[in-house]
């Protein structure tokens, strides 16, 4: 290797000595550059730049703080604005969607996704006069269940439906809102066209039948046809 | 800056700032979350993994699946994870409580393979649900069920055994080159079964209250509204 | 630049008093000879191990059938094994070597004795070996950046204490009264790392916190490992070698402390921006993004410090391999910081998250910046510590060319491939299989880049061990080497 190329690859100490580096820089720590004629561009530019950065990021943080809530995972969401708008009522579409979800999870096992039921055992819901008829009757069926023989659409069925409401002996304990959502769903699906059912109506029925502790039979529900 | 103690104090507080602000604050604000008790269903969510799925999670970690797969669904509008016109990798954004009962949170940071958070709740490329059979075939040789997959074969999660009496119900149905020799069948080992059980437990379908904290853009003003005040 | 004070004699560092080494410097270097040899030797062995593991895992990425019948080299095990071998094997051993030497030189204190340091080094390497072996055997913790199993990590903390303590001893024993920028960074890094590591180990491995607080801790650790440990040590080396080799003071040096504190205070929050869009409270994501934006200030100041010092002296790069490596490194670091800032913008993060872009940025930071600066530093340190010139100049040239080309190929292909992957992922109409097919060529290019890097590393390792061989043969003649050192040509 020649001495003037890549000489730092050899063992001699090249370049500045260590103590001079430290001495020089100790002085430079406090020394700003000499000003040219006119104004000091560098410190001014830097001051402006740093201030702008702080300002811009502060605005960013305040805008996207999402209320500093540990429950919010979307930075565009403002919990205060949402709280101010009060309890959100579900739109009719959301009610039907919620009812459909519960139906598919639970009811479809017997009544089938298509609402046609199983011959002789589980009555169909599609086109059923029980579903689109008096809301008092269909609410009671869902709340307390129904067992024994039943005629639907001219055909005969004999099975047992459990109680879904918050009733004595019930295993599902669905609240009024869920009961109303499922009933609203089946009353507008598969060609059925009947009015939605509100949770207040369900609550009213529940209160009236507080004493009921076993599923209905078809005959007992005749007064509500 | 010439005094070592000043430097030390500054250095200490610089890291203490982020340690307290990030780590400790989050540990206090949401590290103490509890499960959400659903009165309707009488259960607490999130639910703990069933035993075999918990073992499967250990297999997942042992084989390092996190190197290629994430387990987090980002919010609608952020890529195509969920929402309108998305890949349908989840019904909603993943929230912190989904991971509450996990001893090892496996969020992942690479999508060399698809996100797995809702594997059991969505459909595969053929539009069918993921079943144990499909997953066994996929792990044994991905080419059997998916074209152009980057997944390596995990044949070591299976063993070839002699058919004694009846063939096992868990035997893979393979044909052609892949089929084992006559009188033999390929069944998953315990590790393979555990892993598939874990994969089939991956679904975040419960709607916690905080899943409603989703930003909705303000409704555009209708032309008629402005006139109302003048009527 | 008007800020160049090289025309003011008192503010220009003076050359070494004569061409011979001062007795003090000789003593310092001699005291470090054994520990540094062991540290650098282990670092290089780990570098080669990581290279092999890296080539296997990169090959598996585009050809998954490669060795897929062997459970021990499945991608999910080999990739963390490679990254931990690289970070904890190569990265830490090299960082210890460079920081110890810098501390000793700048404090002008020699190392009193090397036995404890050597024990620490051995413990460290045993720990990393146990850990990497554990990952390959299936005991990985599956926490990114902390995959080393719990049975290996306490050993690492003990080893660290044994090694880091000596940097403080050297500092206290020294005769320098001023604390220079390099020393701030090293001091800070040596203090920060055990805090980061201990917190991460306790809160993630030994007593895991609940839910996604784990992700916050893990990201805090992983990003600070790069910024507050690796980047700090590399910056310390740059602050030392630039003025030393160019015989100029650092341009706008009065801003260096601002940059240091800014990086320390805001940089430690910036890493959380990786969790944007995840199941973490939104305010945490916002703070991470804001802190990432703040990184523009150190970017500008470090640019002024380093590129300002280099400006006007670019011709010096031709003759000096250390300067070439360092110039490459600081360019890479500027790009890394720009990358961090850009990835905090939600629109960009939606595309680049979870793609090869993150792999490209990691490579750029750990290899393009840290490793390149360390290579350059070692080219300066080794001859002085071993008292022998480098055995082969052509190998040095091969190393630099291969490293520079390799980094550009790897980072470039992963970046372009990753952006492509991200754009396709964001379009739900593109089937996942198509995305996989489209990435193949980029992954293959990245493998080629890794192979080129491996050639460079092999050249470096060969050169080092050859030089070491010469040094041991020469140790009898060391006195004569000192006395007959050639006078430097005045520049």
Q: When comparing pLDDT for C336 and A119, which is higher?
A: C336
Nearest Cα of chain A lies from the Cα of C445 at a distance, in angstroms, of 33
Q: Which of A83, A110, A131 is the last residue of a domain?
A: A83
User: Looking at the domain assignment, is residue A164 inside a domain?
Assistant: yes
The phi, psi pair for C181, rounded to 5°, reads -55, -40
- Confidence bin at C436 (pLDDT 50/70/90): very high
A101 & A212 share domain: yes
Confidence of residue C378 (pLDDT cuts 50, 70, 90): very high
**Cα dihedral value C63, B124, C431, C60, nearest 10:** -10
- Note whether B171 contacts A: Cβ–Cβ < 8 A: no
Q: Which residues pair with A158 in a beta bridge?
A: A149
Q: Identify the band that residue C480 occupies on the pLDDT scale cut at 50, 70 and 90.
A: low
CA distance C76 to C136: 9
Q: Do A173 and B75 touch (CB under 8 A)?
A: no
CB contact under 8 A, A33 and C3: yes
Cα–Cα dist A205/A199, whole Å: 10
Is C18 in the A-facing interface, judged by CB distances under 8 Å? no
Beta-strand relationship, B36-38 and B158-162: unpaired
Residue A93, min C-alpha distance to chain C (Å): 26
Query: Both tokens of residue A110?
Result: 């017997």
Which residue in B29, B39, B75 is closest to A73 by CB distance?
B75
Q: Does A77 share its domain with A128?
A: no
B/C interface, count of CB pairs below 8 Å: 218
- Residue C411's pLDDT is 97
Instruction: For chain A, give the percent of residues with pLDDT over 70.
Output: 84
CA separation for the pair C410, A169 (Å, rounded)? 68
Domain that includes residue B28, residue range: 18-209
Q: Percent of chain C at pLDDT above 70? A: 91
* Lowest-confidence region among A63-77, A148-162, C105-119, C165-179: C165-179
pLDDT above 90: residue C6: no
d(CA B39, CA B26): 28
C213 in contact with A, Cβ within 8 Å: no
pLDDT exceeding 70 applies to what percent of chain B? Answer: 94
Alpha helices in C387-431 (DSSP H): 393-425
The CA-atom distances, in angstroms, between B110 and each of B27, C177, C417, C433 are 25, 48, 13, 16
Nearest CA in chain C to B31: C210
A23 in C contact zone (CB under 8 Å): yes
Residue A3 has pLDDT above 60, yes or no: no
Final residue of a domain: which of A83, A104, A134? A83
Instruction: Label residue C166 by pLDDT band (50, 70, 90).
Output: confident
Closest CA relative to residue C256, chosen from C162, C186, C184, C312: C184
Least Cα separation, residue C470 to chain B (angstroms): 40
pLDDT at B214: 81
Q: Within a 10 A sphere around the Cβ of B149, how many other Cβ atoms?
A: 18
Q: How far off is chain C from B33, nearest CA to CA, in Å?
A: 8
CA distance linking residue B104 with residue C143, whole number of Å: 8
pLDDT band at A36 (very low <50, low <70, confident <90, very high): very low
Contact B7 C184 (CB under 8 A): yes
What total of structural domains would you count in chain B?
1
The answer to whether residues C399 and C459 touch, using CB atoms and an 8 Å cutoff, is yes
Structure-token pair, residue C338: 């720009």
The CA radius of gyration of chain B, in Å to the nearest whole number, is 25
3-state helix, strand, coil split of chain A in percent (to 5) is 50, 10, 45
Interface predicted TM-score (ipTM):
0.91
Chain B neighbours, 3+ Cβ pairs < 8 A: A, C
pLDDT band at C482 (very low <50, low <70, confident <90, very high): low
Asked if the C22-177 domain carries CATH number 1.20.120, the reply is: yes
- Total domain count, chain A: 2
Q: Where are the alpha helices (DSSP H) in C63-180?
A: 75-84, 92-107, 115-137, 153-173
With contacts defined as CB-CB under 8 Å, which chain B residues touch C434? 148
Residue in A with minimal Cα distance to C12: A24
**In terms of domains, do A100 and A206 share one?**
yes
Q: Are residues A98 and A79 in the same domain?
A: no
Q: C407 near C364, Cβ under 8 Å?
A: yes
**Mean confidence (pLDDT) of chain C:** 90
Q: What is the DSSP letter of C229?
A: I
Half-sphere exposure of C308 (CA within 13 A, CB side): 24
Number of Cβ pairs closer than 8 Å across A and B? Answer: 40
Residue pointed to by tokens 């998250």? C353
| Domain boundaries, position A194 | 92-224
pLDDT of residue C207: 93
The string of DSSP letters for C447-481 reads HHHHHHHHHHHHHHHHHHHHHHHHHHHHGGGHHHH
Note the pLDDT of residue B38: 83
Q: What CATH number did the domain enclosing A153 receive? A: 1.10.760.10
What residue ranges do the domains of chain C occupy?
22-177, 313-478
Model confidence over A121-154: pLDDT tens digits?
Answer: 899 998 888 898 888 899 999 999 999 899 888 8
- Determine, yes or no, domain membership for B197: yes
CA neighbor of C237 nearest in space, from C323, C174, C173:
C323
Say whether both A161 and A102 belong to one domain. yes
CATH number (domain holding residue B146): 1.10.760.10
Mean pLDDT, range A9-27, rounded to an integer = 72
Q: Are residues A158 and A209 in the same domain?
A: yes
pLDDT per residue over C448-469, tens digit each? 999 999 999 999 999 999 999 9
Q: Which residue of A14, A36, A77 to mutate against C (max C Cβ within 10 Å)?
A: A14
Q: Given A34, A61, A83, which residue is the final one in a domain?
A: A83
Q: Up-side HSE of residue B182: CA atoms within 13 Å toward CB?
A: 0
* Tens digit of each residue's pLDDT (9 = 90 or more) over C281-313: 999 999 999 999 999 999 999 999 999 999 988
A84's CB contacts (< 8 A; 6+ apart) are: none
The pLDDT of residue B128: 85
Assess if residue B67 is contained within a domain.
Answer: yes
| Tokens (6 digits) for B105 | 């949170």
Q: Is A128 helix (H, G, I), strand (E, B) or coil?
A: coil
More confident residue, C84 or C316: C84
Q: State residue B105 phi and psi, 5-degree precision.
A: -85, 125
CA distance, residue B25 to nearest chain A CA (Å): 10
Cβ within 8 Å, pair C210-B109: no
DSSP C265: H
For the ranges A186-200, B4-18, C352-366, the one whose mean pLDDT is highest: C352-366
**Residue-level pLDDT at C111:** 77
Residues A65 and A102 in one domain: no
pLDDT in tens, C324-335: 999 999 999 999
Residue B45 forms beta bridges with which residues? B36
Q: Is the pTM of this model over 0.90?
A: no
3-class state of residue A169 by DSSP: coil
């Amino acid at each position: 290797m020649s001495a003037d190329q890549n000489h730092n690859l050899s063992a001699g100490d090249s370049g500045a000595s260590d103590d001079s580096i430290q001495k020089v820089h100790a002085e430079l720590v406090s020394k700003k550059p000499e000003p040219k004629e006119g104004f000091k561009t560098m410190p001014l530019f830097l001051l402006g730049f740093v201030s702008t950065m702080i300002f811009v990021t502060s605005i960013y943080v305040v805008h996207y703080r999402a209320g500093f809530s540990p429950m919010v995972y979307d930075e565009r969401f403002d919990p205060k604005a949402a709280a101010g708008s009060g309890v959100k009522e579900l739109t009719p579409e959301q009610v039907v969607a919620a009812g459909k979800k519960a139906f598919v999870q639970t009811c479809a096992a017997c009544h089938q996704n298509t609402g046609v039921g199983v011959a002789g055992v589980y009555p169909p819901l599609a086109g059923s006069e029980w579903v689109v008829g008096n809301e008092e009757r269909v609410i009671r069926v869902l709340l307390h269940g129904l067992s024994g023989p039943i005629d639907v659409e001219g055909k005969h069925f004999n099975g047992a439906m459990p109680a879904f409401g918050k009733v004595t002996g019930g295993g599902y304990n669905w609240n009024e809102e869920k009961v109303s959502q499922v009933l609203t769903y089946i009353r507008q699906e598969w060609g059925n066209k009947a009015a939605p059912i509100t949770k207040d109506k369900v609550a009213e029925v529940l209160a009236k039948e507080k004493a009921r502790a076993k599923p209905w039979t078809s005959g007992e529900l005749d007064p509500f046809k | 800056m010439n005094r070592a103690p000043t430097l030390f104090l500054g250095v200490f507080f610089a890291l203490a700032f982020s340690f307290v602000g990030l780590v400790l604050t989050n540990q206090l604000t949401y590290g103490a979350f509890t499960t959400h008790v659903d009165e309707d269903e009488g259960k607490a969510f999130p639910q703990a993994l069933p035993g075999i799925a918990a073992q499967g999670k250990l297999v997942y970690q042992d084989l390092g699946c996190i190197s290629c797969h994430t387990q987090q669904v980002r919010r609608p509008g952020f890529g195509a994870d969920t929402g309108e016109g998305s890949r349908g990798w989840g019904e909603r954004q993943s929230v912190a409580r989904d991971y509450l009962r996990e001893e090892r949170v496996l969020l992942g940071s690479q999508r060399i393979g698809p996100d797995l958070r809702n594997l059991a709740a969505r459909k595969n490329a053929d539009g069918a649900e993921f079943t144990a059979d499909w997953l066994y075939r996929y792990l044994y040789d991905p080419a059997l069920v998916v074209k152009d997959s980057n997944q390596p074969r995990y044949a070591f999660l299976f063993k070839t055994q002699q058919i004694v009496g009846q063939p096992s119900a868990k035997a893979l149905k393979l044909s052609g080159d892949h089929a084992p020799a006559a009188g033999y069948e390929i069944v998953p080992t315990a590790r393979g079964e555990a892993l598939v059980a874990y994969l089939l437990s991956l679904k975040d379908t419960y709607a916690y209250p905080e899943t409603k904290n989703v930003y909705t853009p303000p409704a555009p003003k209708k032309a008629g509204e402005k006139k109302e005040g003048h009527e | 630049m008007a800020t160049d004070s090289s025309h003011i004699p008192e503010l220009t560092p003076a050359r070494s008093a004569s061409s011979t080494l001062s007795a003090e410097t000789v003593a310092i270097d001699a005291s470090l000879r054994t520990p540094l040899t062991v540290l650098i030797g282990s670092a290089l062995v780990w570098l080669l191990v990581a290279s092999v593991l890296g080539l296997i895992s990169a090959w598996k990425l585009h050809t998954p059938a490669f060795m897929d019948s062997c459970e021990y080299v499945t991608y999910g095990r080999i990739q963390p094994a490679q990254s931990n071998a690289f970070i904890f094997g190569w990265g830490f051993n090299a960082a210890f070597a460079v920081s110890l030497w810098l501390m000793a030189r700048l404090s002008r204190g020699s190392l009193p004795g090397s036995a404890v340091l050597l024990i620490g080094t051995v413990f460290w390497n045993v720990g990393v070996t146990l850990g990497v072996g554990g990952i390959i055997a299936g005991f990985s913790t599956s926490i990114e950046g902390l995959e080393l199993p719990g049975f290996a990590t306490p050993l690492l903390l003990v080893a660290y204490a044994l090694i880091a303590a000596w940097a403080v001893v050297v500092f206290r024993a020294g005769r320098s009264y001023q604390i220079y920028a390099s020393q701030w960074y090293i001091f800070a890094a040596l203090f920060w790392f055990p805090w980061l590591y201990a917190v991460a180990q306790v809160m993630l491995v030994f007593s895991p916190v609940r839910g996604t607080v784990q992700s916050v801790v893990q990201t805090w650790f992983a990003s600070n490992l790069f910024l507050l440990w690796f980047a700090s040590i590399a910056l310390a080396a740059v602050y030392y070698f630039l003025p030393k080799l160019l015989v100029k003071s650092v341009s706008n040096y009065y801003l260096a402390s601002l940059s240091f504190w800014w990086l320390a205070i805001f940089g430690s929050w910036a890493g959380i921006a990786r969790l944007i869009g995840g199941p973490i409270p939104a305010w945490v994501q916002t703070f991470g993004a804001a802190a990432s934006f703040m990184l523009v200030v150190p970017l500008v100041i470090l640019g002024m410090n380093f590129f300002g010092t280099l400006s006007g002296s670019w011709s010096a790069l031709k003759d000096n391999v250390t300067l070439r490596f360092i110039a490459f490194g600081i360019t890479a670091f500027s790009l890394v910081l720009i990358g961090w800032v850009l990835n905090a913008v939600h629109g960009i993060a939606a595309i680049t998250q979870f793609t090869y872009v993150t792999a490209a940025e990691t490579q750029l930071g750990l290899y393009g910046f840290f490793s390149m600066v360390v290579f350059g530093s070692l080219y300066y340190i080794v001859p002085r510590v071993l008292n022998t010139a480098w055995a082969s100049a052509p190998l040095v040239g091969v190393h630099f060319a291969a490293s520079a080309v390799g980094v550009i190929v790897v980072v470039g292909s992963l970046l372009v491939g990753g952006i492509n992957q991200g754009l396709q992922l964001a379009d739900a109409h593109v089937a996942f299989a198509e995305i996989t097919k489209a990435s193949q060529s980029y992954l293959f290019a990245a493998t080629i880049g890794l192979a080129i890097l491996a050639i460079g590393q092999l050249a470096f390792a060969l050169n080092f061990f050859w030089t070491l061989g010469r040094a041991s043969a020469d140790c009898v003649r060391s006195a004569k080497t000192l006395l007959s050192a050639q006078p430097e040509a005045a520049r």
